[in-house]
C-alpha cells in the first residue's frame, strides 16, 4: 500500500499538507450537529460538547472508572500502564472490552452518531482507554499527532479517525487539561528518528520518538494559536486524529481522568505498520474489526 504520510525514515522532519478530508461530508439538515459545529471541527480540528450526559450518567461513569483504579481485579495486566516515575496507574487500555459500562459508553449514540456522520462511514474502535493523571506528580503528555503514531506503528493508512475524550474529573487550567493547536490537523509533521523495537512499552509512559521538532511546533502555534480545554465531568471533546495536542504535568492535588475512545472508519482499517518492524499489540491497536452498533442513550444506565 502506498505510504501517503512518510515519517520516521531517518530523514529531516518535514511539514506537508493533509491529503484527506477532515469532515467527510457536507452539513445536512438531519445531521447530529449544527452547520457551525461542523465547520468548527473542519477548520479547528476539534469540537467541545457539553451537556450530552445527565448527572446520573456522569456519576455512573465515574463510579465505574474509579472502581477499576482502586481494584483492577479482572483487568488484563498488560493493559495497565504506570506513571514513569512511580507505580501510579496512568492508563488502562482496551477498556471498552474490559468494563461493560465503558463499552456501553463507547457505543453511545450521542457520541457515535456524530463520529459516524463526520467520517461518513461505519466506525470501529481502534483504541480505548481510561487515562488517569494523578495529582501531585502526573507527568506531561508531550505534543503529538496520534495519527503519526497510528500510521507509523499501527499501519493506519489515511486520516479518517476521530478521538473522543470524556472527562471524568474536572479539568481546570491548573491540573494539566488537554491543550490543542487549532488548525494543526491540516498539516502532517513527519518525525525524525526510527521506531525502536517494542517502542510502545516506553512510549505509553513517556513518548520520545514520534514527537515533532520544536521549530515545526512553533510554526503551527504561530498560525493557529494554542488552546487549553478545561471542562466539567461529562464534557466530551471530539478531535481529529491528526490534531496536535498534549498536556502539561499536574502538581495540584486534583487528579485528571478521562475515558478515551478512538473511532476509525471501517474503510480505513489498519494494515502493516508503515514505519515499524512489528505491529503493536491488539490491546493498543485493535485488529478485530467490529462496527460499533450505536446504543440509544436511554440504555446507558442498564449495564452500569
The answer to whether residue 249 forms part of the interface with a second copy (CB under 8 A) is yes
CB 37 within 8 A of CB 47: yes
Q: Residue 248 Cβ, how far from a second copy at the closest point, in Å?
A: 5
How many degrees, rounded to 5, is the angle at CA 236 between CA 213 and CA 265? 70
Provide CB contacts within 8 A for 83, sequence distance 6+: 89, 90, 134, 137, 138, 139, 205
Q: Residue 84 Cβ, how far from a second copy at the closest point, in Å?
A: 12
CB 292 within 8 A of CB 125: yes
Q: Residue 192 Cβ, how far from a second copy at the closest point, in Å?
A: 15
The answer to whether residue 253 forms part of the interface with a second copy (CB under 8 A) is yes
How many residues of this chain interact with a second copy, rule: CB under 8 A?
24
Q: Which of 92, 115, 217, 259 binds a second copy (CB under 8 A)?
A: 217
The answer to whether residue 239 forms part of the interface with a second copy (CB under 8 A) is no
**Rg of the chain's alpha carbons, rounded to an integer?**
18
- Cα(76)–Cα(89) distance, integer angstroms: 13
CB 125 within 8 A of CB 263: yes
Q: Which of 62, 228, 267, 297 binds a second copy (CB under 8 A)?
A: 228
Q: Which of 29, 51, 74, 214 binds a second copy (CB under 8 A)?
A: 214
Nearer to a second copy, 249 or 279 (CB): 249
The answer to whether residue 202 forms part of the interface with a second copy (CB under 8 A) is no
Stretch that binds a second copy, among 14-22, 74-82, 218-226, 278-286 (CB under 8 A): 218-226
* All three cell numbers of 87: 507505580
Nearer to a second copy, 215 or 290 (CB): 215
Continuous segment of H or E residues that includes residue 65: helix 55-70
Nearer to a second copy, 31 or 226 (CB): 226
The answer to whether residue 192 forms part of the interface with a second copy (CB under 8 A) is no
Q: From 200, 207, 171, 189, select the one nearest 244 (Cα to Cα).
A: 189
Q: Residue 253 Cβ, how far from a second copy at the closest point, in Å?
A: 5
The answer to whether residue 226 forms part of the interface with a second copy (CB under 8 A) is yes
Residues in region 130-159 near a second copy by CB under 8 A: 135-137, 140, 142-143
**CB-based burial of residue 70 (10 Å sphere; 0-12 exposed, 13-18 middle, 19+ buried)?**
exposed
Nearer to a second copy, 193 or 249 (CB): 249
Q: Which of 250, 257, 258, 268 binds a second copy (CB under 8 A)?
A: 250
* DSSP strand pairing (161-167 vs 178-180): unpaired
Q: How many CA atoms lie within 13 A of 26 on its CB side?
A: 1
Q: From 301, 69, 268, select the one nearest 162 (Cα to Cα).
A: 268
The answer to whether residue 247 forms part of the interface with a second copy (CB under 8 A) is yes
The answer to whether residue 174 forms part of the interface with a second copy (CB under 8 A) is yes
Residues of this chain that interact with a second copy (CB under 8 A) are 135-137, 140, 142-143, 173-174, 176, 179, 214, 217-218, 221, 226, 228, 246-253
Amino acid at each position: 500500500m502506498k505510504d501517503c504520510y512518510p515519517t520516521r525514515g531517518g530523514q529531516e522532519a518535514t511539514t506537508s499538507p493533509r491529503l484527506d478530508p477532515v469532515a467527510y461530508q457536507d452539513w445536512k439538515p438531519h445531521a447530529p450537529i449544527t452547520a457551525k459545529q461542523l465547520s468548527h471541527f473542519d477548520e479547528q480540528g476539534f469540537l467541545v460538547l457539553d451537556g450530552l450526559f445527565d448527572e446520573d450518567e456522569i456519576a455512573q461513569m465515574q463510579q465505574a472508572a474509579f472502581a477499576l483504579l482502586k481494584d483492577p481485579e479482572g483487568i488484563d495486566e498488560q493493559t495497565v500502564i504506570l506513571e514513569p516515575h512511580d507505580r501510579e496507574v496512568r492508563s488502562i487500555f482496551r477498556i471498552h472490552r474490559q468494563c461493560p459500562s465503558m463499552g456501553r459508553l463507547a457505543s453511545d449514540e450521542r457520541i457515535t452518531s456524530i463520529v459516524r456522520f463526520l467520517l461518513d462511514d461505519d466506525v470501529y474502535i481502534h483504541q480505548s482507554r481510561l487515562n488517569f493523571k494523578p495529582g501531585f506528580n502526573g507527568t506531561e503528555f508531550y505534543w503529538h499527532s496520534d495519527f503519526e503514531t497510528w500510521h507509523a506503528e499501527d499501519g493506519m493508512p489515511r486520516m479518517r479517525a476521530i478521538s473522543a475524550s470524556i472527562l471524568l474529573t474536572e479539568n481546570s487550567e491548573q491540573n494539566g487539561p488537554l491543550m490543542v493547536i487549532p488548525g494543526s490537523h491540516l498539516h502532517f509533521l513527519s518525525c525524525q528518528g526510527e521506531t525502536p523495537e517494542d517502542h510502545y512499552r516506553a512510549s505509553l509512559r513517556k513518548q520520545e520518538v514520534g514527537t515533532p521538532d520544536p521549530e515545526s511546533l512553533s510554526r503551527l502555534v504561530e498560525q493557529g494559536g494554542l488552546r487549553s480545554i478545561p471542562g466539567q465531568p461529562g464534557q466530551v471533546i471530539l478531535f481529529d486524529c491528526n490534531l496536535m495536542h498534549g498536556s502539561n504535568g499536574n502538581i495540584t492535588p486534583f487528579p485528571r481522568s478521562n475515558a478515551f475512545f478512538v473511532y476509525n472508519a471501517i474503510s480505513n482499517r489498519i494494515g502493516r505498520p508503515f514505519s515499524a518492524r512489528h505491529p503493536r499489540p491488539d490491546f493498543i491497536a485493535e485488529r478485530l474489526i467490529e462496527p460499533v452498533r450505536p446504543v440509544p442513550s436511554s440504555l446507558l444506565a442498564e449495564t452500569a
